[in-house]
Structure 1
Amino acid sequence: MFRTLVRYIGPFVALTGAAAAARAEFPSGVMSGDVTDSAAVLAARTDAPESLRLEVARDADFAQLIVTDVADTTLDNGLTAKLDVAGLSPATLYYYRFVRLRDGAHSPVGRFRAAPPADEPASFRFVFSGDSDARAQPFVVLASAAGEQPDLWFWFGDTIYGDVPAGGLGVATTLDDYRAKYRQNLSDTHLQSLLAAAPVWVGWDDHEVINDYDGGDPEPDLPREQIEAGYRAFFENLPIRPQGVAGDAYRTYRSFRYGALAEFFILDGRQYRSADASRVVGGGPRVDPFAQFLPTRDEAFLAVTRDPGRTMLGAAQFEWLVNGLIQSTARYKFIINPVPFTSLLVLPDDRWDGYDAERYALLRALDRAGVTGIIVLTTDSHANTVNPDVTWYLRHALGRRFSRGFRVPELIAGPIGTGTLGGTVRRAATMVLGGGDNPPATAFSAGLVEYAAQRVAALNQLTFVEPDRYAYLVVDVSPDGVRLTHRGISTEAAAQFRGGALMEPPGAVDLNTVFFAAESGAPSPPCFLLPLLVFAVGFASCVVAARKQRS
């Protein structure tokens, strides 16, 4: 069991009383984001319009102020003050806070370390996860993530679930609705602690607007005004630096260097994407068009996925990514990616499987250019996996051609808190078999999850699959290499903290370093299991589609 994080908590405990008082005045805490070697975006929210003074210092007592600035929280900016501070020194630790001008009340103290200079091979640690559904609060796994003492972290994809009722809030459709969803998530004390302890880089996926939407060709029942409301609320509430690109006001794809060892490329797989393949073909979501579980190969669907005219990234982002990776001199090039490159076989519409032509074009361009050191980090699937090479399935199942030595690993992590992949499949199977307290259905659904994990692992040559934990990825980068570790807790362990239960001491939750690895070969199931698997997943997809139509 991973208990050593308790020793990390000491520095936070002493601040607990003062932090609680400060949170009453600044209910979302403080945040630093998009921190480079010379600049940082700092943010805080109030409950009513206020004038605030930002203070940045090199010491926790604020005796050495190096920056002071003033910002207002207004109804127009969602009551959030954001300031982009420039002129910082590389590899330097800073402390910051916001002070209310009318009475001197101050926010919790946040801290961040500026990135090292581009020529320094500095070692560093970061944390990566996503998918934070308010129904799963408190986000106890983030208390443990703060205990990792990361130099930075990524909160990537589904930072809210705007389309899911939770905690008295309904489905978001307006700007005020989406703002309320961010207030709800940012009220989580564990999330606040991590945001105050380390700078964050954020990115979105779909639930910041609505499930599985296609931003470049929106569904007919999704108004453009709703999409814009979701985008604006994201930029208002999170410490992201606007890119200032004419005609692309909400651009989130961007890159940054972190010393000589790493460069990060943060993708937007949502707002520029073409309509999904099932919508093009018609007839609803396809469950198994690749015929990996049943003889249900759908040539019309597959032809759409191979259409080079369809895109997930959009032409500008695709060119930016390829050129940036080719030109990068960093030893490691991390692609922060919203949906899996790995072929997960069923329900492929929303993932890279559904945009196979562009996936192949991207990987082939990098292969031909001889780009090395690529590592893909992904959220979205609500499971944790390690794929040593995303091209394995493409080569052996789809006949795609790559150079013999070209390899691109992908690690999938999460969720912070929402239904896990394993839990979703078990619930679907139990519903199909009658639901309720049904021991045979429970046993069958557990076996179904195990078999599906082994099947996907075998076809992709995965070395690790864990579908049942709230989790994050810890990445240690040094001149000696990159160490990537999944850490997580069971959903049952996390559930004990709901309803106001506290950790004693804060953060002292059992956290496993998870090393479950699927065997390379999957056993042959009984003949009745395959159709029931497809039926169960298909039933779940129909429920999702129906909810999407109602929203």
Structure 2
Amino acid sequence: MNGKPYLLIRKANRSTYSRWCIAMTLAVNLTVAANSQAEVNTASVHAQSGDVSDHGAVIWGRCNDERDARLIAHLSNSPSADEPHTGQRVAGPLAGNATDYTGSIPVTGLKSNQRYYYRIECRNDSEPDGAGPKSPLGTFRTAPDPNTHRPIRFVWIADVGGQGWGRNPELGILDVENERITGGYVIFKVIGKLDPDFAVFAGDMIYADNPIPAEKSVPGGAGAGTWNNNPSKDFTALTLDDYRANWKYNLGDAKYRRFLSRTPIYVQWDDHEVTNNWYPGEVLSFPPYHGMATNELAGRSRQALFEFNPILGKEIFRKFRYGRHLELFLLDERSYRGANPENANPAGIDMLGEHQLAWLEDGLRKSTATWKIISSHDPLSIVTGATNDWDAWGQGSPEVRGREIELGRLLRFIRNEAIKNVVFITADVHFAAAISYNPELAEFKDFLPFWEFAVGPSHAGAFGPGRLDTSFGPAYEFIRAPGLEGLAQNLPPPVMQSFGSMEIDQIGQLTVKIHDITGAVIYRKMITVTDY
């Protein structure tokens, strides 16, 4: 960021915190910052873990020397996982050009609630065991079994590398622990300090439809000057290799890579993994697409997402049990949706589709977890898009229309089945909010009261606020957005960036927190099972 160091101070939600403070300066030592950005690119193997259960996990790797190699996971319950004959060795797929030298290894038969350490080796079949290049040491903890009561902390994150705000080696913050963090995706070092059990990546984890220019002007409300992206990205994704390159751009960031090595993830997608507000069957007439079909682009994007994340199978929607108190439901609100222009249709259109909706209903009905957390990457009532492009569930009308008919079915099912303690987490809108839903205030009244919490962006342009569709009686209990502070839209990091965390204690009480980029808690809500 060119210009003098400055301090930006604005009032936050007045009923919660009277002030919030973000410091952004030139890095004290730009050489150090530049080196921190380059260090990951020298790693010959990348690795991360995800989709953790009480008996297994998925370990992902990439062979950066881009030669055909067998992926081998070396796993141990001590940090000696770099020793080839220590612990468990699991041979994975051949990583080659067909998968851009990536692969995921399912590891099963693990003990529940156990810390494991791992490295990925990329070994040619002609080489002896342990002779291939290996990743830095990674770690994850398996989930507790459904009968185990233990405290849980997880985070959810969204919106990374959007609107041209990419990896800036000069970006700096002073975090809540008074540590100066400089260069690149600084928020991931902040989040990592919470030592979460896992992270939900709630969509828009790449911006395939946004170039990242070498320089970008900063709005006056964020200090003015010039934002410098190093490296830059000068294309909109059209080909499979383009989509892969977007994932590799983020993996080039040292702080992001370290976070992934220490925190298992559950990944979803949203629109920007393909293009803005896309839906199946859409034809994109504008440049650079010139008549391309989103189905074609989505197929390439989906392949890249599965190649570059620790996820197996065919579906993005899935669920995971995490101890006595938590079951996590991850939705896919892109693959099966109806057309955005039809979202005001009184007869209704799909968002989840019949198969996914039935799967969700069945999972909720059978769940014995205290809390059922549903990660809906598109918000339930915040209106997004425009008249011919309503992108989320609602469209601004108090009548239940379009995708809301499907949502009404789900909420009525939850009430009729007496399913308690359902909470929604979301993102997409690039501002932070806590929203309560009250049937007494709603047009559609056949549901139990519940909460929805929105976060983001984590490293992208900040926008908002957005208006609420009133069909299900929503009310903002907390909101932080540029427009409420008299600031411009599309503000870069560190301004109004956020992420969320949830903590469930041993007896099952849930605490929801929204954090700013420094890690400071800007909103907190404690929910007990007796509230429902």
Letter in 1 for 2:445: R
Identify the range of structure 1 (66-75 vs 369-378) with the bigger mean alpha-carbon deviation. Answer: 66-75
* CA distance in structure 1 between the aligned counterparts of 2:425 and 2:205, rounded to whole angstroms: 16
Q: 1:222 to 1:317 in 2, by over 3 A?
A: farther
Equivalence for 1:465: 479
Q: Percent identity?
A: 27
Equivalence for 1:65: 87
Matched, 1:74 2:88: no
* CA distance in structure 1 between the aligned counterparts of 2:206 and 2:429, rounded to whole angstroms: 15
What is the TM-score of this pair, normalised by structure 2?
A: 0.73
Q: 1:382 to 1:370 in 2, by over 3 A?
A: same
* CA distance in structure 1 between the aligned counterparts of 2:135 and 2:36, rounded to whole angstroms: 9
Aligned counterpart for 1:328 among listed residues 363, 367, 373 = 367
| Structure ranking higher in helix proportion | 1
Contact 2:41 2:252 in 1 (8 A): no
* CA distance in structure 2 between the aligned counterparts of 1:26 and 1:132, rounded to whole angstroms: 24
| Structure ranking higher in strand proportion | 2
Using the TM superposition, give the Cα deviation of residue 191 of structure 1 relative to its aligned residue in structure 2, in angstroms. 1.4
Equivalence for 2:307: 236
Structure 1 runs of 4+ with >4 Å offset: 17-23, 452-456
Aligned counterpart for 2:392 among listed residues 344, 351, 355 = 351
Aligned counterpart for 2:446 among listed residues 397, 402, 406 = 402
Equivalence for 1:445: none
Equivalence for 1:379: 427
Equivalence for 1:6: none
* CA distance in structure 1 between the aligned counterparts of 2:186 and 2:275, rounded to whole angstroms: 25
Contact 1:33 1:199 in 2 (8 A): yes
Aligned counterpart for 2:72 among listed residues 38, 53, 73 = 53
Q: Give the paired residue count.
A: 414
Q: 1:222 to 1:362 in 2, by over 3 A?
A: farther
Aligned counterpart for 2:357 among listed residues 301, 313, 318 = 318
Using the TM superposition, give the Cα deviation of residue 460 of structure 1 relative to its aligned residue in structure 2, in angstroms. 3.2
Contact 1:23 1:108 in 2 (8 A): no
- RMSD of aligned Cα (Å): 2.7
Q: 1:455 to 1:367 in 2, by over 3 A?
A: closer
Contact 2:40 2:253 in 1 (8 A): no
Letter in 2 for 1:97: R
Aligned counterpart for 1:253 among listed residues 278, 297, 317 = 317
Q: 1:22 to 1:96 in 2, by over 3 A?
A: farther
Contact 2:54 2:112 in 1 (8 A): yes
Using the TM superposition, give the Cα deviation of residue 208 of structure 1 relative to its aligned residue in structure 2, in angstroms. 1.0
Matched, 1:197 2:262: yes
Using the TM superposition, give the Cα deviation of residue 79 of structure 1 relative to its aligned residue in structure 2, in angstroms. 1.0
Q: 1:21 to 1:143 in 2, by over 3 A?
A: closer
Equivalence for 2:347: 307
* CA distance in structure 1 between the aligned counterparts of 2:453 and 2:233, rounded to whole angstroms: 35
* CA distance in structure 1 between the aligned counterparts of 2:384 and 2:282, rounded to whole angstroms: 24
Identify the range of structure 1 (66-75 vs 376-385) with the bigger mean alpha-carbon deviation. Answer: 66-75
Q: The residue matched to 2:298 in structure 1 has which SS?
A: helix
Q: Deviations over 1:349-394 (max 9, x none)?
A: 11110422111111111111111110101010111111122x45xx
| Residue correspondence of structure 1 range 42-441 to structure 2 within 5 A | 42-47=59-64, 48-51=66-69, 52-62=71-81, 64-101=86-123, 103-133=131-161, 135-137=165-167, 138-166=184-212, 167-215=232-280, 217-219=281-283, 221-223=291-293, 224-242=295-313, 249=314, 251-276=315-340, 279-280=341-342, 302=344, 304=345, 306-308=346-348, 310-344=349-383, 347=386, 349-354=390-395, 355-389=403-437, 391-392=438-439, 396=441, 399-402=443-446, 406-422=448-464
Using the TM superposition, give the Cα deviation of residue 104 of structure 1 relative to its aligned residue in structure 2, in angstroms. 3.8
What is the TM-score of this pair, normalised by structure 1?
A: 0.70
* CA distance in structure 2 between the aligned counterparts of 1:116 and 1:257, rounded to whole angstroms: 8
Equivalence for 2:515: 487
Q: 1:400 to 1:178 in 2, by over 3 A?
A: same
Q: Deviations over 1:31-62 (max 9, x none)?
A: 10101011111111123124243201111023
Q: 1:512 to 1:22 in 2, by over 3 A?
A: closer
Using the TM superposition, give the Cα deviation of residue 307 of structure 1 relative to its aligned residue in structure 2, in angstroms. 1.8
Q: The residue matched to 1:515 in structure 2 has which SS?
A: strand
Q: Deviations over 1:252-307 (max 9, x none)?
A: 1011100111111100000100011xx34xxxxxxxxxxxxxxxxxxxx74x1x32
Letter in 2 for 1:411: F
Q: Deviations over 1:210-236 (max 9, x none)?
A: 111112x33364423222111101111
Contact 2:208 2:274 in 1 (8 A): yes
Q: Runs of 5+ in structure 2 lacking a partner?
A: 1-18, 22-34, 168-183, 213-231, 285-290, 396-402, 483-495, 526-532
| Residue correspondence of structure 1 range 438-453 to structure 2 within 5 A | none
Q: 1:511 to 1:125 in 2, by over 3 A?
A: closer
Q: The residue matched to 2:97 in structure 1 has which SS?
A: coil
Contact 1:374 1:408 in 2 (8 A): yes
* CA distance in structure 1 between the aligned counterparts of 2:97 and 2:89, rounded to whole angstroms: 26
Q: 1:320 to 1:487 in 2, by over 3 A?
A: same
* CA distance in structure 2 between the aligned counterparts of 1:512 and 1:130, rounded to whole angstroms: 18
Q: The residue matched to 2:48 in structure 1 has which SS?
A: strand
Letter in 1 for 2:393: W
* CA distance in structure 1 between the aligned counterparts of 2:410 and 2:359, rounded to whole angstroms: 11
